[in-house]
């Protein structure tokens, strides 16, 4: 049975991957693209083959449903997002959808009709890879998708969001319709996208919190000048000041240790010429922690340091925080439910936080939510080399099945 289930999961992942394979050997499935629509329609077909009732909502979220009997006004939901980054992998997002479909099929075959409805969802978008918006699928599911946020935006090719949506056959959510109140729990299965489980040789991760994020755009302005004739003490070197800022910020993060992470992933120097003192530098900061007070404390510290460094180096600095997402705690009862399933199954697991963002971080603010992680080989994600071994894919489905059983059948 184990090999049969592993093969089924792997085959379904390959089946949908074929709908969006790109020329660079990866998967590119951007919101409302042909590849996106082909994949959603293929998932709809798979859901129906497994005996699920299927439907789309207005914006393109796809649902597969098993109707409950005793409490048909209540729903237990699982799933994840269908979209990818450009040249991404086969598992990010998609594993949670396939795991949900397989889990519902197994529950139906083994236990029959549940007390509550069970649904798997393929959220339309989470990544922000095509348009400058994120979580479009789960935002609309929660009733907070903002039409004004997207109706005037375009992708990199100048295609308007609304035109792409209409071409794919979808529309804005009807704002007069009440948001769903029937969903009593949400479970998201996902690849870890890190290497903690692999390094610690764990089969399953149970996520009890998702890290908050603060992201910054920092501009440092000095004076571009001749590299040979400008004495060191008279320079207004934007790159020198920037290097001191970044080095201190990362050193401080290392000293504090996990779960704090700080990343300066982008930097641009102008004029970027070998014999000219840099007059301008721009860099990014991505700061994450699971404790909101600590996140604020650390970011206040580094903002103060950047201002002090700018003064010391006789340059100007403009610090713009463009993202401020609070940490989100998962539901303690659902986490305990998954943990009991792992103990009963003798699964080698650990409770952990997620440093990456997920649909669950939005959903958890309105609906009791938890996540199940499976190991990622090498911690690689958002990359064609993304891979999770079949035995871990299977283990995630088994834990998901038993967890949904506890929530939907009892």
Q: pLDDT value at position 323?
A: 87
Q: Is 308 annotated as a binding residue?
A: no
pLDDT at residue 26 tops 90: yes
Mean pLDDT of 290-308: 97
DSSP 276-312: EE--EEEEEEEEEES-HHHHHHHHHHHHHHHHHHHHH
- pLDDT single digits (tens) 324-333: 988 999 999 9
Confidence of residue 357 (pLDDT cuts 50, 70, 90): confident
Mean pLDDT of the chain: 96
Q: Is 275 annotated as a binding residue?
A: yes
pLDDT at residue 1 tops 80: no
Place of tokens 């299965």: 189
- pLDDT single digits (tens) 224-273: 999 999 999 999 999 999 999 999 999 999 999 989 999 999 999 999 99
Q: Is 226 annotated as a binding residue?
A: no
Domain boundaries, the chain: 1-211+327-409, 212-325
Confidence of residue 356 (pLDDT cuts 50, 70, 90): confident
How many Å apart are CA 379 and CA 264, to the nearest integer? 19
Q: Is 50 annotated as a binding residue?
A: no
Give the Cβ contact number of residue 97 at 10 Å.
Answer: 30
Mean pLDDT of 48-56: 98
Q: How far apart are the first and last CA of the chain?
A: 26
Q: Is 358 annotated as a binding residue?
A: no
How many Å apart are CA 199 and CA 191, to the nearest integer? 15
pTM score > 0.85 for this model? yes
Confidence of residue 155 (pLDDT cuts 50, 70, 90): very high
> In 3-state terms, what secondary structure has residue 324?
strand
Q: Is 286 annotated as a binding residue?
A: no
How many Å apart are CA 397 and CA 6, to the nearest integer? 10
Q: Minimal CA–CA distance to 404: which of 193, 202, 102?
A: 102
E strands, 192-241, where? 204-210, 212-221, 225-226
Q: pLDDT value at position 397?
A: 98
pLDDT at residue 365 tops 70: yes
How many Å apart are CA 362 and CA 359, to the nearest integer? 6
Q: pLDDT value at position 177?
A: 84
Confidence of residue 2 (pLDDT cuts 50, 70, 90): confident
Q: Is 127 annotated as a binding residue?
A: yes
Q: Classify domain 1-211+327-409 by CATH number.
A: 3.40.630.10
DSSP state of 178: P
| Fold category of 212-325 in CATH | Alpha-Beta Plaits (3.30.70)
pLDDT at residue 205 tops 70: yes
Q: Is 215 annotated as a binding residue?
A: yes
Burial 277-294 (b: 16+ CB within 10 A, else e): bbbbbbbebebbbbbeee
Q: pLDDT value at position 217?
A: 95
Q: Minimal CA–CA distance to 364: which of 403, 325, 402?
A: 325
Indicate the pairing of strand 276-277 with strand 349-354.
Answer: unpaired
CA distance to 8, 47, 103, 217, 360, per residue, from 187 (Å) = 21, 18, 12, 34, 8
Place of tokens 């989100």: 328
């Amino acid at each position: 049975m184990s090999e049969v289930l592993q093969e089924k999961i792997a085959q379904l992942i390959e089946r949908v991957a074929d709908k969006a394979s790109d020329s660079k050997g990866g998967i590119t499935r951007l919101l409302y693209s042909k590849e996106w629509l082909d994949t959603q329609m293929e998932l709809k077909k798979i859901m129906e083959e497994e005996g699920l009732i299927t439907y789309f909502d207005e914006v393109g979220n796809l649902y597969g449903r098993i109707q409950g009997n005793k409490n048909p006004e209540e729903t237990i939901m699982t799933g994840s997002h269908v979209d990818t980054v450009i040249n991404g992998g086969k598992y990010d997002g998609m594993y949670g959808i396939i795991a949900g479909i397989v889990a519902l099929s197994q529950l139906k075959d083994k236990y029959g009709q549940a007390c509550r409805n069970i649904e798997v969802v393929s959220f339309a978008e989470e990544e922000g890879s095509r348009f400058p918006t994120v979580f479009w699928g789960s935002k609309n599911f929660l009733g907070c998708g903002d039409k004004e946020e997207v109706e005037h935006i375009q992708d990199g090719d100048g295609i308007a969001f609304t035109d792409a949506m209409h071409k794919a056959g979808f529309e804005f959510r009807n704002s007069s319709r009440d948001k769903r109140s029937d969903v009593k729990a949400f479970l998201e299965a996902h690849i870890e996208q890190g290497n903690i489980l692999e390094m610690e040789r764990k089969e399953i991760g149970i996520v009890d919190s998702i890290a908050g994020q603060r992201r910054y755009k920092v501009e440092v302005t000095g004076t571009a000048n001749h590299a040979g004739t400008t004495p060191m003490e008279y320079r207004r070197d934007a790159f020198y000041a920037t290097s001191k800022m970044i080095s201190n910020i990362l050193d401080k993060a290392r000293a504090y240790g996990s779960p704090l992470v700080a990343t300066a992933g982008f930097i641009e120097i102008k004029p970027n010429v070998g014999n000219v003192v840099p007059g301008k530098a721009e860099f990014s900061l991505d700061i994450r922690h699971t404790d909101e007070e600590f996140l604020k404390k650390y970011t206040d510290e580094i903002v103060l340091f950047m201002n002090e460094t700018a003064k010391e180096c006789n340059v100007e600095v403009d610090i713009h925080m463009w993202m401020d997402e609070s940490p989100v705690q998962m539901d303690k009862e659902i986490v305990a439910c998954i943990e009991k399933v792992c103990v009963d199954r003798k699964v080698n697991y650990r409770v952990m936080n997620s440093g990456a963002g997920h649909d669950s971080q939005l959903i958890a603010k309105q609906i009791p939510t938890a996540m199940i992680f499976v190991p990622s080989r090498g911690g690689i994600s958002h990359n064609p080399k993304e891979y999770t071994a079949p035995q871990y894919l299977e283990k995630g489905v088994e834990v998901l099945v038993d967890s949904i059983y506890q929530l939907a059948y009892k």
